[in-house]
């Protein structure tokens, strides 16, 4: 009896019962145990099940002992789930099996052979804060200006080098760049030396040191090559260069490596993932073969065909076509809106409709390209009492930068707000540390005054050093001046001015850390949100109530997250808003990475669509307030790339050129309503599945804010105050004579007539 017949017989007899429910390609992937194998698994095709079943089959057929199998996952949770599911299938322990993340497996090897790379076996693994402090020390020794060259930025450079498997000796001159006056390599060298002295490693070192161990000791490398008869890798498309090098070195012995992944879901280039690893698998491993899993068990045919149509525009892919036996279903619903808030209104109303049809809120998700785009949906849901959760990060008003900004506004409105003042008294850094606060609070307790008054009183004494006294005096003068100006400016402009003059915006502008750009976007979104309220006080009250109400939300909640955070998840209903050029695909990504980044942005769209099981809503706005400026938008190119036969066409909602806003609009948008009615912005006639000219521009009499040069005496337009003439100018601050009187405004808030 040949092997295939023997396997079939045992399946019938029940010994290989776990093979019964597999489809033909899945079964082939499980049983192909010799040589390198790439399982190209599309979204919802059962890749995890195949990986687990393959692992179980290796152990049941006694091809290897558990200790001779290496299984690599990307999260500890995934590793634990894989271990538990395999044990359930084979009905015995797999305790000796090497299963875990790249970092945990490399740490295990490094503990055993630490001396090879000048470490002791009890080395410490540093967290991000420890790394930052250490790199700061190194940079200070080298007299690097930390304000100009933030330590976290230097760490990011080092991480990129380690992701590529580059030790200091491997970094070439052309890769050094101009950061820290061209001293980045010497900082890297000193940082690594310091780590050795401390008997410590960072996460990048775990893989890098293993590579160096294998390079320095062929015997140790041969030991692991002989040991692991089978290697299994999940989410192979997310591996970086160093991880792939590590896999190739270990796999070289037995050459039985099986990698499972989807090139169409490679969306983490920004954190080092290299899609070329999966694209070049057959080149990297001789005699490799590829098995495609294309039958999807998650989504309807319309959803899959739409996703396939979109991703087919990518050139850098191995190619596959998802299909399903689930016929029909709803077509992709594509809608256009006049602005972001009307988009939020429509989506919230659609969710209520779905809820009435017994859809669970937890099976509904809103996926955005960037976190700042969540704000309008959060506001709308809070207004309607719809419970929601933000996955992968805090709610908008709970984010650190938003809390900091609001703390400034609270102190301006209410100087007795000690908690708010304490929060920002040293943000940005002003040299006000814990010892200074202790002195101030001692005075508040003894005199029975608030922190603000305590500062006023103590700066007239000699309790503090002169430089600190001057700093605190300047800060109080700023607050006093802001209070005199709060009623002379439009409140959103006023808040923008406060964030600018306080140095808070500049702090994040100079910060080169990966999350700095997102924090700036959130702050600009905050300024835009304030314009929706009658006054700064009403906004602060609104935020307080919002924060209070979040505690009482039900467990069944709408999910809001970024497209990156949605990978691996699934929902009945998926909303994909903000599909406009510049927003998605993201313009900054295109500027930095060109065609390669465009293809990754398209993969993000593919991931978004394939999260849905039953229905998908794609939407875009004709006009959108971006950073408090009204911008005319065109639909994302991805809208036209979705095949027309799978799209449900709908007319634009919430605005009519003849009648203004429809009955669906409410007073929540009253401030913006007048502007749109004045502007008479022409509607856009979308036809999904058709091409939009790249030069398309919405015609509008007043729709675009400009920041061109203006001069005294020139007539300009302001959204709230109307037309006026410039009386005086000081930097970006203008004094303008309006019909309602003289107002102080920021230059970015006006437009030429």
Do the beta carbons of residue 96 and residue 120 sit within 8 Å? no
Do the beta carbons of residue 619 and residue 347 sit within 8 Å? yes
Active site (annotated) includes residue 48: yes
Tell me which of 26, 47, 205, 343 is the catalytic residue: 47
Tell me which of 7, 73, 101, 265 is the catalytic residue: 265
Question: 743 has which bridge partners?
Answer: 736
Active site (annotated) includes residue 403: no
Tell me which of 234, 263, 417, 493 is the catalytic residue: 234
Active site (annotated) includes residue 457: no
Exposed (0-12), middle (13-18) or buried (19+): which is 633, by Cβ within 10 Å? buried
CB burial readout 361-389, b (16+ within 10 A) else e: bebbbbbbbbbbbbbbbbbbbbeeebbbe
List Cα–Cα distances, 589 to 317, 519, 696, in angstroms: 19, 17, 21
Report d(CA 140, CA 142) in Å as an integer: 5
Helical segments of 680-738, H only: none
The 10 Å Cβ neighbour count of residue 54 is 23
Active site (annotated) includes residue 265: yes
Do the beta carbons of residue 687 and residue 645 sit within 8 Å? no
List Cα–Cα distances, 337 to 159, 313, 558, 747, in angstroms: 42, 26, 22, 28
Active site (annotated) includes residue 235: yes
**Residue 338 has what DSSP assignment?**
S
Examine residue 428 and say whether the peptide bond preceding it is cis (omega within 30 degrees of 0): yes
Helix (H) / strand (E) element for 101: namely: strand 98-101
The 10 Å Cβ neighbour count of residue 484 is 8
**Residue 721 has what DSSP assignment?**
T
Tell me which of 202, 235, 580, 641 is the catalytic residue: 235
Report d(CA 261, CA 233) in Å as an integer: 8
The 10 Å Cβ neighbour count of residue 254 is 18
| Cβ within 8 Å of residue 225, ≥6 positions away | 249, 250, 251, 252, 253, 254
Active site (annotated) includes residue 611: yes
Tell me which of 48, 73, 101, 562 is the catalytic residue: 48
Catalytic residues: 47-48, 234-235, 265, 611
């Amino acid at each position: 009896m040949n092997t295939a017949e023997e396997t079939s017989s045992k399946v019938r007899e029940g010994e290989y019962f776990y093979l019964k429910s597999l489809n033909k390609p899945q079964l082939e992937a499980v049983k192909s145990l010799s040589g390198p194998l790439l399982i190209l698994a599309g979204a919802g095709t059962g890749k995890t099940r195949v990986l687990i079943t393959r692992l179980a089959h290796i152990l049941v057929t006694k091809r290897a002992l558990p200790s001779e199998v290496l299984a690599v996952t990307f999260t500890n949770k995934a590793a634990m789930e894989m271990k538990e599911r395999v044990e359930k299938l084979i009905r015995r322990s797999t305790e000796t099996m090497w299963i875990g993340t790249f970092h945990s497996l490399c740490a295990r090897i490094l503990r055993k052979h630490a001396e090879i790379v000048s470490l002791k076996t009890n080395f410490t693994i540093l967290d991000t804060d420890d790394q930052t402090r250490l790199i700061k020390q190194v940079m200070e020794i080298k007299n690097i200006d930390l304000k100009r060259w933030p330590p976290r930025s230097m760490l990011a450079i080092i991480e990129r080098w380690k992701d590529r498997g580059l030790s200091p000796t491997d970094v070439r001159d052309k890769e050094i760049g101009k950061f820290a006056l061209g001293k980045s390599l010497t900082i890297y060298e000193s940082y690594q030396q310091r780590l050795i002295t401390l008997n410590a490693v960072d996460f990048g070192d775990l893989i890098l040191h293993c590579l160096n161990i294998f390079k320095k000791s062929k015997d140790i490398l041969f030991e692991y090559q002989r040991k692991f008869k089978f290697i299994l890798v999940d989410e192979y498309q997310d591996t970086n260069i160093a991880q792939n090098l590590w896999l190739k070195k270990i796999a070289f012995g037995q050459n039985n490596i099986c990698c499972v992944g989807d090139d169409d879901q490679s969306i983490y280039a920004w954190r080092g993932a290299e899609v070329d690893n999966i694209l070049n698998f057959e080149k990297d491993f001789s005699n490799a073969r590829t098995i495609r899993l294309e039958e999807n068990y998650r989504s309807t045919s319309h959803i899959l065909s739409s996703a396939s149509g979109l991703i087919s525009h990518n050139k850098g892919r191995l190619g596959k076509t998802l299909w399903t036996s689930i016929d029909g279903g709803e077509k992709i619903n594509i809608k256009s809106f006049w602005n972001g808030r009307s988009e939020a209104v429509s989506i919230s109303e659609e969710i209520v409709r779905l809820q009435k049809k017994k859809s669970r809120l937890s099976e509904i998700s809103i996926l955005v390209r960037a976190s700042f785009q969540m704000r309008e949906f959060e506001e709308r849901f809070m207004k309607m009492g719809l419970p929601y959760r933000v996955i992968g990060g805090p709610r908008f008003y709970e984010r650190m930068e938003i809390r900091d900004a609001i703390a400034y506004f609270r102190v301006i409105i209410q100087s007795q707000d000690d908690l708010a003042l304490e929060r920002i008294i040293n943000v940005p850094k002003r040299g006000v540390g814990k010892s200074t606060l202790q002195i101030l609070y001692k005075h508040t307790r003894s005199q029975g005054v608030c922190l603000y008054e305590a500062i006023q009183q103590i700066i007239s004494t000699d309790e503090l050093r002169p430089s600190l006294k001057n700093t605190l005096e300047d800060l109080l003068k700023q607050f006093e001046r802001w209070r005199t100006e709060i009623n002379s400016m439009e409140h959103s402009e006023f808040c923008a001015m406060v964030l600018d003059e306080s140095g808070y915006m500049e702090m994040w502008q100079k910060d080169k850390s990966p999350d700095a750009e997102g924090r700036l976007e959130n702050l600009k979104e905050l300024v835009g949100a304030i314009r929706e309220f009658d006054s700064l006080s009403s906004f602060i009250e609104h935020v307080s109530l919002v924060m209070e109400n979040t505690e009482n939300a039900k467990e069944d909640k709408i999910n809001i997250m970024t497209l990156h955070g949605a990978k691996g998840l699934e929902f009945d209903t998926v909303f994909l808003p903000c599909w406009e050029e510049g927003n998605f695909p993201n313009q900054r990504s295109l500027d930095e990475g060109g065609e390669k980044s465009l293809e990754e942005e398209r993969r993000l769209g593919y991931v978004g669509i394939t999260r849905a099981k039953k229905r998908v809503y794609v939407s875009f706005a004709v006009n959108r307030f971006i950073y408090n400026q009204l911008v005319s938008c065109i639909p994302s190119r991805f809208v036209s790339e979705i095949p027309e036969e799978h799209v449900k066409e709908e007319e634009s909602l919430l605005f009519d050129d003849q009648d203004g806003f429809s009955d669906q609009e409410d007073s929540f948008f009253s401030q913006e309503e007048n502007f749109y009615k004045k502007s008479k912005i022409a509607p856009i006639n979308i036809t999904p599945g058709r091409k939009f000219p790249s030069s398309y521009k919405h015609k509008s009499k007043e729709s675009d804010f400009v920041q061109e040069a203006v001069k005294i005496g020139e007539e300009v337009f302001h959204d709230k105050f109307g037309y006026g003439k410039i009386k005086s100018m000081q930097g970006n601050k203008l004094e303008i004579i309006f019909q309602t009187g003289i107002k102080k405004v920021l230059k970015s808030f006006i437009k030429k007539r």
